[in-house]
Structure 1
């Protein structure tokens, strides 16, 4: 009964917004084989891979914001475009000076974004309503490293700070020009900001460090026992940090204030943690199921059946 009510409310909410009845959506996923962004239709545990979003031109990449209201796409001619999306349509928003990125990182709540390329990192604020490029920052990456050597990149919700790892020290960079080394790290470090502030997490050399208030007191808690994570992401309330691990075939759930850790086993090898509302996508679209972490209440893992011929 609870699931039926939730589904009905979701559908009614979309009806009120658009004037047409649309099925509830659990998120989006880019289909590399057909070069389209597809909706994940339905509710957790009863979802299907849906049709592609029509942007009006062919695309080669798409990155969706955590609240699923913005998407940065790269067209077949290598030009970047920013769209606002809802349950029905995608409408382009003009952003002056936008450069084609090699990598896109949205902030935890999707109010800012960092677009990385060889020329630097463009920071966009004001998403989704009034986006504007506020800064372009050069990262300290040695010339010996390829452009793909950026291990991890995160931007705070206020768009004021970047956190990145590039085969060496983890750096904290302010768009106002201030920067400092946060800690030393070997290649493969991971970084993540928490929503709504400047708390953060860094995995470096087998240690997971959770920072509170990086810009202020910057207190830290080191946590052992998190095995080879492939991605980090905070829950929407910032109280829980999730770490995906192919090695354990599961997800670590870590309480940010205490460090208490539990695990969720998965019949998959999670490679990523892409925020989609209250869900996190754990893998890319392929021949097998698409796995989701439902963090809306007690965390649980659900899957979307492999796509059929579309």
Structure 2
């Protein structure tokens, strides 16, 4: 549903129906209306519409570069890989190099994507930095190394700079035979695996690795990213730095928010729908295959009995 000002009743697919959009506009629908989720019709069409619909709306709006939630319709098109709509918006006068989202512009974002020449060469000073190009290359490598992962219910803690032995020591965990761990589905058993850059704590069936007590202990002197692929509500992320929980109920593999720092705006784009890869990348882990995530781990261990939700 879309609220008010002539757009009520439109569903997701309706924005690709040029006849319906044209009829709404002819009946007096406001092309600059603020819809639910702070969208305008043009923002909505940038994601769900067609170039024809983009042209209809762009010819009627007051400002083709109007910002909603810190982004223009052109940003929405690039961020959602709707390059057909991005071209239509640019042809209608949208500015690819207008800064937004912590200094990024739609054009700079496109430089990090699969079609870097979408808007032609960047203006002086608007290209990617060396660090950003490195981040793009690493994202492509890491995503390819992990492949497709569909593990609803998995929990991870991606720990920077510590090996599995140190993580086990900090958790005061004890070894568990593989035969006992396999199929146990108990929250006190987790797997640990050494990877380039650190260690991954995993639980194929639960959220234990991202409990605050686990994250707090393993992040002292370093940082880690926790993930729980909640089958009911989607991916839930958390950040711990030097023993402090600094982020909770985050959305790895989702979209960047207005006010996110520049590096996370880029990461959200590079790792869209790749929550496990995003979690590893945040901690600087450079996995070469998916085993640390999908198993079997280097070792199974049992967490001691305590309230792992209580921290500190």
Give TM-score, length-normalised by structure 1. Answer: 0.29
Higher RCO, 1 or 2 (CA under 8 Å, sep at least 6)? 2
Judging by fraction of residues, say which structure has more helix: 2
TM-score computed with the length of structure 2 as normaliser:
0.29
